[in-house]
């Protein structure tokens, strides 16, 4: 068997060129998928719609809900803070009361009915939001307090 070093060098160069071409295709394909997307949500009069939620469903990322951080829906100045909180299905939410008055937080929403009866400070445990949908929050003591938790269906 005779090995020609000139031929081997050409084969190696060809392999390197093919590998570089494949890497560049992978890089540019990834860059295409990682592009920024801007979405403007407007109402029927063409005005910007505040607190709109757009959920893009991607393939499952196998994230365990127990490993997700606990979210916070605080109560400050007789308001929910933030007004809109976005949670993933199975995620837990703490409801601290940072006001110097007591609140009675509740929801009758199909996605998560619950009550945190009259309390101040921090409730005993967070609430798990295990069903997707919109959860409307209220306070039995302060009717003007309204907040929302959007529980994303994507896992």
CB 48 within 8 A of CB 42: yes
Report pTM. 0.70
For the chain, count helices (H), then strands (E): 1, 10
Tell me the pLDDT of the chain (155 aa) as tens digits.
455 555 555 544 555 555 445 545 545 544 455 667 788 888 898 898 888 887 777 665 566 767 889 999 999 999 999 999 999 999 999 999 999 999 999 999 999 999 999 999 999 999 999 999 999 999 999 999 999 999 998 75
The DSSP 8-state label assigned to residue 131 in this structure reads: S
- Computed on alpha carbons and rounded to an integer, the radius of gyration of the chain in Å comes to 26
């Amino acid at each position: 068997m005779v090995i020609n070093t000139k031929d081997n060098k050409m084969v190696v160069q060809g392999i390197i060129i093919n590998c570089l071409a494949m890497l560049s295709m992978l890089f540019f394909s990834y860059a295409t998928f990682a592009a920024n997307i801007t979405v403007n949500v407007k109402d029927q009069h063409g005005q910007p719609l505040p607190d709109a939620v757009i959920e893009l469903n991607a393939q499952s990322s196998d994230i365990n809900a127990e490993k997700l951080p606990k979210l916070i829906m605080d109560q400050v100045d007789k308001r929910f803070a933030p007004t809109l909180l976005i949670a993933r299905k199975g995620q837990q939410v703490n409801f601290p009361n940072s006001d110097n008055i007591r609140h009675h937080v509740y929801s009758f929403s199909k996605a998560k009915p619950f009550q945190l009866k009259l309390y101040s400070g921090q409730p005993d445990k967070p609430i798990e939001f295990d069903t997707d949908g919109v959860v409307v929050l209220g306070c039995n003591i302060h009717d003007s307090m309204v907040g929302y938790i959007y529980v994303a269906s994507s896992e």
